[in-house]
A = this chain, B = another copy of it.
Amino acid sequence: MELYFLGTGAGMPSTRRNVTSISLRLNQERGTFWMIDCGEGTQHQVLSSPLKPSQLEKLFITHLHGDHLFGLPGLLGSRAFQGGLTPLDIYGPSGLREFVETSLRISETHLPYEVQVHEIDEGPIFEDHQFVVTCHQLAHGVPSYGYRMEERAAPGRLNQAKLEDEGIAPGPIYGQLKAGMDVTLPNGRVLRAKTYLSSPIPGRKVVILGDTTPCSAIATLASGADVLVHEATYASADEAKAHAHHHSTSVDAATAARESGVKALILTHVSARYDEDALCALLREAQVIFPNTFLASDHASMPILRT
């Protein structure tokens, strides 16, 4: 599991940062990747990344502003060009379906795979045996969502050494215990699964927010996350402007990270008005409040390890 940043700028592309797109690589977990937001030029960024459009499984749009959306029709077409055949699920606010359908129809883009657009409300929007994805609305003037991607806990590890010490040979019994089932041996002895299993391995939790100004939904979404990806369009000196435009400063993001008890914070969606020195300062003022803070850049990646 790894985050790979395709675009980390705000509003408009610059020569250094493209508009927003983030991928969550799930190679080992599912052999696929998920994408969060798809600003114009995302397919161009994918070209010089390790990602393969055919392996895109799910796409989550945080809100419908152009810098998070306008790369979507082109990416859908390229996924077809490049041999993508598996169904694709797209999640996002109301209006997303009309945009996708209109773009594909007017351009006569005929996809060889199925696209399902899910217009979302708050709450769980997807779950299977591995993951639960929930979303909450943030505060951005237009409907803007944050997504919590939560991996399910894995069963504890089986203590094989202990079993062998007790004279129980490897066999189907091991599998039953591993699955949490108690086993009664032919001699009447009962093996309790919990005796031989370590405690369950917690799943990883990744929270990725759409554009937002500070609001209470952030702590709800981010509570205890391994990684929180939070916009930091502005430095704290420009706080008034940030809040007037429904955005956050890096200090807002760090404060939210500290209050939510997350393990790491990644800042993204930074304004092109700041040069490299100003971005260093923007990052440092966040680190004062929440030390484990990183600033994303285009094509940067961060592995998310089990702890």
Q: Which residues of B have CB within 8 Å of A99?
A: 102-103, 106-107
Chain copies in complex: 2
Minimum C-beta distance from A127 to chain B (A): 28
Q: A66-B107, A96-B106 are in contact. List 20 more A-B contacts (CB 8 A).
A: A12-B43, A12-B81, A15-B47, A15-B48, A40-B74, A41-B44, A44-B44, A64-B106, A64-B108, A65-B107, A65-B109, A66-B73, A66-B77, A70-B70, A70-B74, A98-B102, A99-B102, A99-B107, A102-B102, A102-B103
- CA of A40 to CA of B109 in the docked complex: distance in angstroms? 14
Q: Provide 30 A-B residue pairs closer than 8 Å at the C-beta atoms, listed in order of the A residue.
A: A12-B43, A12-B77, A13-B44, A13-B47, A15-B47, A15-B48, A40-B40, A40-B41, A40-B43, A40-B44, A40-B71, A41-B41, A41-B44, A64-B106, A64-B108, A65-B107, A65-B108, A65-B109, A66-B107, A67-B77, A69-B106, A70-B73, A70-B107, A96-B106, A98-B106, A99-B103, A99-B107, A102-B103, A103-B103, A108-B142
- CA of A96 to CA of B108 in the docked complex: distance in angstroms? 12
Contact B44 A18 (CB under 8 A): yes
Q: Which residues of B have CB within 8 Å of A142?
A: 108
Closest residue of B by beta carbon distance from A43 = B13
Minimum C-beta distance from A234 to chain B (A): 16
Answer yes or no: A78 CB below 8 A from chain B CBs.
yes
Closest residue of B by beta carbon distance from A94 = B106
Answer yes or no: A11 CB below 8 A from chain B CBs.
yes
Contact A66 B13 (CB under 8 A): no
Answer yes or no: A95 CB below 8 A from chain B CBs.
yes
Task: From known contacts A40-B43, A40-B74, infer whether A64 and B12 are also in contact, taking CB-CB under 8 Å.
Answer: no
Answer yes or no: A199 CB below 8 A from chain B CBs.
no
Q: Which residues of B have CB within 8 Å of A73?
A: 66, 70
Contact B70 A14 (CB under 8 A): no
Q: Which residues of B have CB within 8 Å of A18?
A: 44
Which A1-43 residues have C-beta < 8 A from chain B? 11-15, 18, 40-41, 43
Closest residue of B by beta carbon distance from A81 = B12
- CA of A295 to CA of B98 in the docked complex: distance in angstroms? 39
Q: Which residues of B have CB within 8 Å of A47?
A: 13-15
Per-position binary interface string of chain A over residues 43-79, scored 1 when its CB falls under 8 Å from any chain B CB and 0 otherwise = 1100110000000000000001111011101100110
- CA of A36 to CA of B77 in the docked complex: distance in angstroms? 21
Closest residue of B by beta carbon distance from A15 = B47
Closest residue of B by beta carbon distance from A109 = B66
- CA of A12 to CA of B44 in the docked complex: distance in angstroms? 9
Per-position binary interface string of chain A over residues 139-177, scored 1 when its CB falls under 8 Å from any chain B CB and 0 otherwise = 000100000000000000000000000000000000000
Q: Which residues of B have CB within 8 Å of A96?
A: 106
